Structures are given as C-alpha cells and as structure tokens.
Amino acid sequence: MNALAAADLLAALLRTTLALSATYLLARGALRLTKSSSPLVHRAACVLALAQGWWFARLAIDVPWYDPPARRPLPAAPILEAAEPPIVAESTTSEALVAEVGAEHSTSVWQWQTVVVALWLAGALVAVVREAVHYLRFARNVPLGAAPAPEDEAEWLALQAQCNVRRPIPLRMTEDLGPLLCRFPGGYRLLAPRHAWRELSPEARMAVLRHELAHYERGDVWKSLAARILALPQWFNPLAWLAVRHFDEAAEWACDAAACGAAPEDAPAYGKALLSLAVGRAQHTVLNTAAQGRGLALRIGRILAPNSIEDSKVKKTLWMAVAAIVLFAGGIEWRVVARAAEDQVDRSNSPEHEKAVQLLLETAKQAWDVTAAEYDNGTVTLEMVYLWSRRLLEAERIAAKNKDDEIAALARHWKRMHVLYIKTKALFDAGARGGETQKVKSTSFYVAEAELWLANAGSQAPGDSD
C-alpha cells in the first residue's frame, strides 16, 4: 500500500471514528431526553452508531449551486526555432534512467501512514482472534451438566412445544453456572445452577425459562455476533464497545418483557429470582453485563414498572425514520458544485467540426510521439518536446466534452513533463550531457506550471505512483 492510499484510508478512519462517536453520544442523549424505553429503539440506535464505522467509501452527490468560473486559457505556446544544437544522450537509455530515478522517488512502505494502517489491521485481527479464543475456551471449559429433575425437564419441554421449537434444547444442571442459553458447535444448551434453581418458586423458574427461550426465538446469539462484527473497524474506540454493551443490555430488556408478558403477576417473583441468582455467583460465570451492577438494577426496575417498557407506535416510527436518515446520511457526501448546464464545454455539434477536431487531435498525437522519440535519440531540443506537449494538450482540451475530460488532459500533460524532468535529473546525477543545470531547472518549471494549471482547473497532480 502506497502512502497516498494509506493517507486516504486514515482520513476515512478518522471520519468514521468521529461519526460513530458523535452518533452514539447524540443517540444516548436523545434516548434519555425522550425517555424512550423500547428495547427495539435502543438496539436500533446502537446499530445506527456502529454502522457509521463502515462508511469508508461514500456515495458522492453533487449539488449544482454556483456559476462556474470562466474557463482559463493557457498562456500562448511560444513559436520556437531549433537554434540549439541537438543533444546526444549517453549510452544509458531513457527507460533505465526513468526506472532508476523512479525507484529513488517511490514511496517508502515504512512511511508513518502505512505503519498506522498496518497497526490498525493488526489490531482488528487480534480482536477477532481474542473473541475466537474466548469462545473456544468457554465451550471447552463449560461442564456438560447433569440431567434435571423430571418436573423441571417436563416444564422446559412443554414450554418449547408451546413455542413450536423444532429442535428441543436440552436443559442441564451445573454447580454454579447459569441460567444461561449457550450456543455450542453441536447446538444450543440451557444451563441452570442446581442448588439456586431449587430455591426459586415455580413461577420464578417458569419466568426464567421464558426469558432464555426468548433469547433463542429472537436469535440474540447471532445478533450479538453481528454487533461485534460491526464494531470491528472501531476496535480501538471505547464508544463502539459501549454501543455493543448497550445492544446486549437491550436484548435482556426485551427478553425480560417476554418473560413477564405471558404472566404479569409473576413479575415480582421474577425480579427476586434475578437478584438471588446474581448474588454469590462466581465472577467468571457472569457473562452478561446486564446481569450485574447497574445493569441488573435497571432490569429489575423495568420489570417492576412494566408500563414503561413499550413506547408508543408514533415514537417508535419517528425513531426508526430518524435512524434511517442518519444511517444513509453517513454514507453520502454532499458536494456543492457548479451548475451542470454551465459545466459543459461550449462547442458546435456539426459533423464537419467534429471531424476537424479529431484530425487535430490525431495529428497532434502523432507529432508528439515523433518529437518524444527524436528527443530520446538526441535529434531535437528540450524546448521542442515541451512545445509539442503543449500543442497536444490544447488539442485534447478542444476535444474535451466536459470538465473531467479537460482535467484528464491537463493531468496527462503533467505526467509527460514529470517524466521529462525525471530523465533530465537522471542525466544531471550521472554528469551526462542533457542534464545541465539549466535544463533541470527548466523541466522543474514545466512540472510546476502543469501543477498550477491543474490547480486552476480544481484538481491536483496525480502523484508519482500514477
């Protein structure tokens, strides 16, 4: 990756970082101000923020707004005579000189932009490997568990049959792990702590089972994985991982609502069950931040105040519309440009005119090719090369159908002058004829002049690597 591409990527990374951070902070503030309690709205806000980290490339939309500046003609090309004796090049060929000097001017792969991009990619890879290792260790160390009591298994199977679960999920009892719905390579498994489970009331156990089954029905395992993939480009951004955590917490709220929705009278017993299951659990068994600390307190508060769980349909619709607008706005670059009608080059459309233009362009190309070849052979002067590059440029500008074509013609002239400078500089470094100081300065001026013309046209030099 060259320095130009690395710099562009870093600029896009900075832009997406700022967009994600601002979107998440504004979304959290708006959710608090509107007192939105819908898990769907909260999760959509998190996805909206995380998606901003992927808008590396944006769709450019031009907004015609102002009148373009008048087209600037190039200074008149001088009429030169071959008053100077031709310069005979040394034995070293022009192609070899261009390759040698081009290698000296090539962008180093160890420039700081490239190093930063490499570190960013390495960090993303480390994040993926870390999550994979964490999952494999968890799957390997989780006990298989013992068979539950017949009445517990009957309740769980009946609940799954009621929800039309095609492939029954086994219930296994552990010493202190769970309640937890796990996805293993072989399928799902529900883990429950044996001793704490027996201390719960039948109503509380049923509510917990409905909560875990809701995770399965909603596909929360895969949604949580998708959220982490969305956060991957922003692995270094703490706000990205706060958005992921908030996304997981909202999933718990939704499943709590499903657990209590079928039997609202069981809400107090379910809240007590969450509290008793969280107390005394080993630190490594608390796999969800919503099951401890402030997350647990918030969940219990929402369970005991079920009327605040759902927002009105109008508020949900409004939030979804705002989210869609912000999401797509992050992937669009609005550019204020000249009016399209004024951007076209004024010309006649008659067949005679077009034929004359093509003839002018073809003869200019042929004259340039001959002049460049004779300069390499040492039979024409440096100024004649410059003159015919200018004349070819003018022919291409006349044939241009729009401003982009004109800029492309200016860029080609710049490239021809840049190659001429490289050849002259190489001869200067080798102490050969044709590399006199005056000629190095002249070709350097030609390049600077071409860059100025590009700047006046609203563009810039392509770069050494083009």
Instruction: Decide: helix, strand or coil at residue 404.
Output: helix
Residue 176: what residue type?
A: D
Distance CA 131, CA 145 (A): 24
Burial of 2 (0-12, 13-18, 19+ CB in 10 A): middle
Q: Provide the greatest CA pair distance for the chain.
A: 109
How many beta carbons lie within 10 A of that of residue 161, not counting itself?
10
H helix runs in 146-266, sequence order: 150-162, 194-199, 202-218, 220-231, 238-261
Span 453-457, average pLDDT: 89
Residue 271 and residue 304 in contact, taking contact as beta carbons nearer than 8 Å:
yes
The mean of the pLDDT values for the chain is 81
Is residue 348 over pLDDT 70?
no
For residue 75, whether the previous peptide bond is cis, meaning omega lies within 30 degrees of 0, is no
pLDDT tens across 254-267, in order? 998 888 876 777 78
Residue 446 tokens, joined: 């030609």
Tokens 């027996």, located at residue: 198
Residue 237: what residue type?
A: N
Span 402-427, average pLDDT: 91
**Per-residue pLDDT, 282:** 45
Q: What are phi and psi of 335, to 5 degrees?
A: -120, 125
Q: Is the pTM of this model over 0.85?
A: no
- Choose the weakest-confidence range: 172-186, 207-221, 412-426: 172-186
**Per-residue pLDDT, 434:** 81
pLDDT tens across 368-402, in order? 999 999 988 888 889 999 999 999 999 999 888 88
Element (H, E) at 448: helix 437-456
Span 6-13, average pLDDT: 88
Is residue 291 over pLDDT 80?
no
Distance CA 132, CA 139 (A): 11
